[in-house]
Amino acid sequence: MGGRKGVLGQVRSKAAKVAAGVGRTPKCDARKAKVASRTWGVQEQRGRRHLSLSTLVSRGVGESGEFTSTIFDVEDVSLAGSKESILRGGRDKFGLLAKAFEGIKTIGVCGWGSQGPAQAQNIRDSIEAAGLSGDVKVKIGLRKGRPSWEEATACGFTEESGTLGETFDVVAESDLLLLLISDGAQASLYPRVLAAMKPGATLGLSHGFLLGVMKNDGVDFRDDINVVLVAPKGMGPSVRRLYEQGKSVNGSGINASFAVHQDYTGNATEIALGWSIALGSPFTFRTTLESEYKSDIYGERCCILGGVHGIVESLFRRYEAQGMSPEDAFINSVESITGPINSIISKRGMKAVYEELDGEGKEIFMKAYSASFGPSMDICYEIYEDVACGNEIKSVVNATNRFDRFPMGTIDQTRMWKVGEEVRAKRVEEDIPLNPFTAGVYVANMMATLTTLREKGHNWSEICNESIIEAVDSLNPYMHARGVAFMVDNCSFTARLGTRKWGPRFDYNLVQQAYVAIDNGAGVNDELKQEFLNHDVHSALAVCAELRPSVDISVSTDEAVGAGKARTQYKSSKANA
């Protein structure tokens, strides 16, 4: 016992240092921490089903998208010839939550940023609708005295009702712990969180980022807990907004991926699927923690956030230089993407944008597409490989450690975005043009984003959601409502940092390569044209369109709940909006 106690002491010592702000495990201690992570909770394992590390599930990229459930009706779909499994959501499934959450009395939600408020309120409402309010409690874990504490209270979570408490008290008592604190905080606090969890509990993540951090540190999760993921394919405010809109039509929300990284109790899959159903996910597909963090961190830097930001800024300047007024330049860049282009892709796919154009428009589209695809692929590949090797995760952690000295700057104070405020005030939706050049550049970026994911081995369900559906059904509507910052800065720190870092890179490559080629007379690349028109993604998207939420998101100008530096300018006047 002496040796075991020594190892646990090392881990707890590390946790204490983290809590005191000393820092994370240096590389030279990674092996010790790895051993410690496999030893946590060993005294409590008697009488429980214990899985060795060799029997854990959902490890890598590109594993089968098939899964089964003993509670929910899972169905198989064919996406571009690949068989995958999905679970359809809906309020009619809430009656099965009692079975999925069997043995779970407290669902702890730690964090109140982008995802925390939405997930906590959705799950609470679903549990109430299922008649489980007296059996299962949703409890928020925050630091008392922070603005987030007041906002959670305004949303109906209170100390008096036992639904609001200090972070690590909630961690210790939770049967299902949803760790929704910022990625930077997860990187610093995960040793203390893992040490505080009770044996047999389930750690729930909505992003695989923590796995990437732990891989960089050379440590594993303690093996006497479940580790699952449910990742809504959209920012938190949209998860809540669509859930509320869908209450009268058997539910609607944001599609989600799920993963079971570690199944200690034998029912981790059912817990994860129950969580996704409670969020209101229209359909849920399988991934792995590794695949999720690679595709998610990558996707938000490409067409979902960073790519579109770089595109619209480069096009605005180009159109002005060609003689358009500032207002027309904004309309033909930003408004064209967030208006008609977005609507067509959401309902009918990317190919339909091309088919919507007349003969001249198709030619302009294809010239822009041909010139933009290669420069976009160049950046997409660089981003993916930086994420895959851990460099991008290190960059995020380093940046969050600099926030006190170098806070994140604004991205919507330039003349372009001030023009946008005037344009939105006078907007007539029906008058927004489908600009063929803008469409060609934007679709090329989407195609580059998804082509890279496919070449790197990701499943079609993940590709469609991480590169297309999330962009058009969750993110772009927020830029349409209030501009680029309203879209970007309602997302996580990781997404916000990535947009600021990579958006300018896309801008540069388009200006220096794509637009120069077009101005020098470059024509349509017939090979790229045929690849686009006959690409497998179109049939995969057609299947996804059949599973699309039954309502379009309606974004007000007073949207988002989340305290702290990340979103104070978007704090809703009604905390439960």
- pLDDT at residue 491 above 60? yes
Listed range (58-62, 183-187, 446-450, 520-524) with the worst mean pLDDT: 58-62
Domain 299-547: which topology?
N-(1-d-carboxylethyl)-l-norvaline Dehydrogenase; domain 2 (1.10.1040)
User: Once rounded to an integer, what is the mean pLDDT over residues 536-562?
Assistant: 76
Place of tokens 């408004």: 335
Q: What is the pLDDT of residue 48?
A: 30
- pLDDT at residue 204 above 90? yes
Nearest to 133 by CA among 172, 94, 171, 169: 94
**Do the Cβ atoms of 390 and 213 come closer than 8 Å?**
no
Provide the percentage of residues in the chain whose pLDDT is more than 90: 75
* 197 Cβ contact list (under 8 Å, min separation 6): 171, 172, 174, 177, 203, 222, 225
The answer to whether residue 458 is catalytic is no
Cα–Cα distance measured from residue 369 to residue 532, given in angstroms and rounded to the nearest whole number? 9
Cα–Cα distance measured from residue 209 to residue 32, given in angstroms and rounded to the nearest whole number? 22
Nearest to 293 by CA among 495, 140, 485, 148: 495
**Do the Cβ atoms of 468 and 325 come closer than 8 Å?**
no
Q: Give pLDDT tens digits for 414-454.
A: 999 999 999 999 999 999 999 999 999 999 999 999 999 99
User: Once rounded to an integer, what is the mean pLDDT over residues 488-506?
Assistant: 94
Confidence tier at 547 by pLDDT (50, 70, 90):
confident
Give domain limits for the chain: 89-282, 299-547
Cα–Cα distance measured from residue 483 to residue 439, given in angstroms and rounded to the nearest whole number? 19
- pLDDT at residue 254 above 70? yes
Name the more confident of 229 and 33.
229
Mean predicted lDDT score pLDDT of the chain: 87
Q: What is the pLDDT of residue 231?
A: 94
Cα 407 to chain centroid, rounded? 23
Q: What is the pLDDT of residue 102?
A: 97
- pLDDT at residue 572 above 50? no
Cα–Cα distance measured from residue 322 to residue 252, given in angstroms and rounded to the nearest whole number? 43
- pLDDT at residue 6 above 90? no
Listed range (146-160, 229-243, 402-416, 553-567) with the worst mean pLDDT: 553-567
Domain 89-282: which topology?
Rossmann fold (3.40.50)
**Residue 360 amino acid letter:** E
Alpha helices in 267-390 (DSSP H): 268-279, 289-301, 306-321, 326-330, 336, 342-348, 350-355, 359-388
Cα–Cα distance measured from residue 474 to residue 234, given in angstroms and rounded to the nearest whole number? 5
Q: Give pLDDT tens digits for 57-88.
A: 445 665 668 999 999 999 999 999 999 999 99
Strands 283-286, 82-88: pairing is antiparallel
Q: What is the pLDDT of residue 552?
A: 76
Listed range (197-206, 351-360, 467-476) with the worst mean pLDDT: 467-476
Q: What is the pLDDT of residue 64?
A: 67
**Do the Cβ atoms of 91 and 269 come closer than 8 Å?**
no
User: Once rounded to an integer, what is the mean pLDDT over residues 450-472?
Assistant: 95
Name the more confident of 542 and 562.
542
Listed range (328-332, 388-392, 413-417, 572-576) with the worst mean pLDDT: 572-576
Listed range (28-32, 49-53, 68-72, 512-516) with the worst mean pLDDT: 49-53
Name the more confident of 204 and 52.
204
Cα–Cα distance measured from residue 201 to residue 268, given in angstroms and rounded to the nearest whole number? 10
Q: Which residues sit in the known binding site for Mg(2+)?
A: 296, 300
Name the more confident of 182 and 430.
430
Listed range (6-20, 122-136, 247-261, 364-378) with the worst mean pLDDT: 6-20
Listed range (295-304, 358-367, 488-497, 516-525) with the worst mean pLDDT: 488-497
Three-state helix/strand/coil letters over 357-389: CCHHHHHHHHHHHHHHHHHHHHHHHHHHHHHHC
Q: Give pLDDT tens digits for 255-279.
A: 999 999 999 999 999 999 999 999 9
Backbone angles phi, psi at 45, to 5 degrees: -85, -10
Instruction: Please report how many Cα atoms fall inside a 13 Å half-sphere around the Cα of residue 168, on the Cβ side.
Output: 11
Q: What is the pLDDT of residue 111?
A: 94
Place of tokens 């597409």: 369
Confidence tier at 558 by pLDDT (50, 70, 90):
low
**Residue 466 amino acid letter:** E
Instruction: Please report how many Cα atoms fall inside a 13 Å half-sphere around the Cα of residue 139, on the Cβ side.
Output: 28
Confidence tier at 248 by pLDDT (50, 70, 90):
confident
User: Once rounded to an integer, what is the mean pLDDT over residues 320-342?
Assistant: 99
Q: Give pLDDT tens digits for 91-123.
A: 999 999 999 999 999 999 999 988 999 999 999
**Do the Cβ atoms of 62 and 457 come closer than 8 Å?**
yes
Q: What is the pLDDT of residue 151?
A: 92
Specify the pTM: 0.84
* Separation of first and last alpha carbons in the chain: 53
Candidates 50, 207, 261, 480; catalytic one: 207
User: Once rounded to an integer, what is the mean pLDDT over residues 118-142?
Assistant: 96
